[in-house]
Amino acid sequence: MCGIVGYIGDGIANNVLLEGLKKLEYRGYDSCGIATIVGGTFDVFKTTKRIDGLVQYAKKAPESHIGLGHTRWATHGGVNEKNAHPHISNSKKIAVVHNGIIENYITLREMLKSKGFTFMSDTDTEVISNLIEYYYKGNLLEATKKAVDMVEGSYALGIMCIDEPNEIVVTKRNSPLIVGLGDGENFIASDFSAILKYTNRISVLENDEFAVIEKNGMAFFDKNAEPRGNEIKIIGAKENDVEKNGYDHFMLKEINESTITIKNTLSEYLKDDKIKFDLKLTNEELKNINQIHIVACGTAMHAGLNGKNIIEKLTRIPVNVEVASEFRYKNPILKENDLVIFISQSGETADTIASIELVKEKNIKFISIVNVKESTIDRMSENILYTRAGAEIAVASTKAYVAQVCVIDLFAIYLAQILKTVSDKVLKSLILELKNIHEKVQAALEDDKKYIEYAKKIKDDKSVFFLGRGIDYYIALEASLKLKEISYIHSEATQFGELKHGPIALIEEGTNSIVVSTDKRLRSKVYSNIKEIKARGANVLLITNEKSPQPEFYDDIIELPEVNELFSPIVAIVPLQLVAYHVTILKGLDVDKPRNLAKSVTVE
């Protein structure tokens, strides 16, 4: 979604801003803009074209050493230049970039109109620049504090003032913002990746805090605008994590990083074949769990469904999986001995964060599975299990899903160990299989030519079915999401047994149907279902770990290495991610940045 980058220092501001915005492109955006201070006025340029539109402008723009840049993902107001950020106040004194949503902007706009302010855009953000101007009496920090005290909603703000041209003021509430410390230069950003090229010395702002960033220093203030200590951390990420490293697209690179992701994630918690988690939950508390709730969004929620399958099978504890945007508003039934597991790649998803707040309020135990260290969810959770996927840039989540599934699988085995619901011998063999699963993923990756051939078959389809039973249905759901989100082909995942209750009406001559079948126990049922759809003209791609199934059950086949169905999502998803990738490339679409989508959904 929206992205912020800001710079103050000896360097050329526009160069840093544009590099930063390029790094933020992956989050998804539909317009962008920059503002610098030049000779006592703002030099502003906005475009609805890609960042390259700004680059053309910046080449001719006058030099400046302070500036703010923004990528906008439209919420309030259409996609046009006047709605793009930065927004400038009426007297052209204040410039603001904003991520988030100002919920009471109509009231604030009316109040400001009654004081004589006029508005040029349809955005909620423009009230902020004018509100700060309204309160400005020579101290930008003070005016910002007064303005945000009036605001309801979420925001990360970067603010410049013509009268104080040597500082940028920042503040945030429920939208991420970091500041980066350089030598003779300092930075602000909504995401580490925007400034990693320049510094890995970072401070993460907490809700309602402020910071004043100057060329040679920065000062932090608490919610009352009283000074607080400066805490700078070194972030371990490396710049080449956010480069394509020879691949044509981030998505392809990231799918191919699945094997290393699995190894890194498992080695974080598997020591001498024993699972070691650093959780502040006693074995007694874990033994007494009544019910588990897994809460997440998108792909992370699909990883949660895999969690339901394995936890229920190994521990017999009931698991309820909810999308966070539903969970937060449904007054969920949570009991004292329940455990909630949150899953998030970015650690910044607004609905997941709100769900955590709710669970904290009710004092229910929870664990968060997160990829991005120092993200909001990481910082608000006492019990954290990290996925070690590294930076994931493509909007469609691939290696992060695989890592999330690995962590949940380990957690299920760990719980079964404590509960003694499965024999030590079986648990040992499960750990061994998981330890070597990267080899099977590698084997699946190597069949890429086959995936390209199948992609050619479906690229012009209007709709594709994904079918499966049990765990294979959960894999189908994730595979269907991958295909639709990047190729724009409508697809739906259906539990194979449910097909007869409606969706089979849509199967006709030539309907491409992708059937996932990794659970041996259900195979004969799946084959009967395949016969039913083939009788109605469907073309079936069968993804299976059965050796040489009868040809009557498929038109095309992807044979997977032998894998325990408890772990099959890790292996079976890879070919389907690659099929989705190739379909999208064949259609000439932007695979890393699909339309309307954002990498981390920081507004609800």
Tell which one of 190, 352, 355, 513 touches ligand G6P (CB under 6 A). 352
Instruction: Provide, rounded to whole angstroms, the least separation between the CB of residue 300 and ligand G6P.
Output: 4
Residue 346 binding ligand G6P, by CB under 6 A? yes
Instruction: Provide, rounded to whole angstroms, the least separation between the CB of residue 346 and ligand G6P.
Output: 3
Could you tell me where the beta strands, DSSP code E, fall in 14-163? 31-38, 41-47, 66-72, 87-88, 94-99, 155-161
Sheet containing 292-296: order of strands: 319-323, 292-296, 339-344, 365-370, 384-386
User: Looking at residue 198, what DSSP letter applies?
Assistant: T
Of the pair 35, 476, the CB lying nearest ligand G6P is at: 476
User: Looking at residue 332, what DSSP letter applies?
Assistant: -
Of the pair 314, 395, the CB lying nearest ligand G6P is at: 395
Of the pair 64, 325, the CB lying nearest ligand G6P is at: 325
Instruction: Provide, rounded to whole angstroms, the least separation between the CB of residue 392 and ligand G6P.
Output: 8
Query: What is the distance of C-alpha 392 from the center of its chain?
Result: 8
Instruction: From the candidates 22, 46, 172, 599, give the one annotated as an active-site residue.
Output: 599
Tell which one of 121, 154, 193, 344 touches ligand G6P (CB under 6 A). 344
Instruction: Provide, rounded to whole angstroms, the least separation between the CB of residue 488 and ligand G6P.
Output: 15
Instruction: Provide, rounded to whole angstroms, the least separation between the CB of residue 234 and ligand G6P.
Output: 23
Tell which one of 193, 487, 600, 602 touches ligand G6P (CB under 6 A). 600
**534 is a catalytic site residue:** no
Number of amino acids touching ligand G6P (CB under 6 A): 15
**Alpha-carbon separation of residue 334 from 289, 360, 452 (angstroms):** 12, 11, 46
Tell which one of 388, 440, 484, 599 touches ligand G6P (CB under 6 A). 599
Q: What angle do CA 156, 195, 101 make, to 5 degrees?
A: 15
Amino acid type, 194: A
Contacting residues for 147 by C-beta, under 8 A, at least 6 apart: 128, 131, 132, 134, 135
Q: Which of 71, 262, 40 is nearest to 162 (CA)?
A: 40
Tell which one of 298, 304, 390, 468 touches ligand G6P (CB under 6 A). 298
Tell which one of 129, 349, 355, 518 touches ligand G6P (CB under 6 A). 349
**161 is a catalytic site residue:** no
Helices and strands (H and E) in the chain: how many:
19, 27
Stretches 12-20, 220-228, 246-254, 296-304: which one binds ligand G6P (CB under 6 A)?
Answer: 296-304
Instruction: From the candidates 2, 32, 161, 297, give the one annotated as an active-site residue.
Output: 2
Contacting residues for 278 by C-beta, under 8 A, at least 6 apart: none
Amino acid type, 144: T
Q: Is the bond preceding residue 549 a cis peptide, omega within 30 degrees?
A: no
For residues 408 and 397, give the distance between their C-alpha atoms in angstroms, rounded to a whole number.
Answer: 17
DSSP alpha helices (H): ranges in 25-158?
51-60, 105-114, 126-135, 140-149
Instruction: Provide, rounded to whole angstroms, the least separation between the CB of residue 377 and ligand G6P.
Output: 8
Residue 484 binding ligand G6P, by CB under 6 A? no
Residue 345 binding ligand G6P, by CB under 6 A? yes
At 107 the three-state DSSP class reads: helix
Stretches 228-236, 434-442, 539-547, 594-602: which one binds ligand G6P (CB under 6 A)?
Answer: 594-602
Residue 176 binding ligand G6P, by CB under 6 A? no
Residue window 371-410: x/- pattern of binding to ligand G6P, with contact defined by CB under 6 A? ------------------------x-x-------------
Residue 294 binding ligand G6P, by CB under 6 A? no
Give the footprint of ligand G6P on this chain (CB under 6 A). Answer: 297-300, 344-346, 349, 352, 395, 397, 597, 599-601
Active-site positions read 2, 599
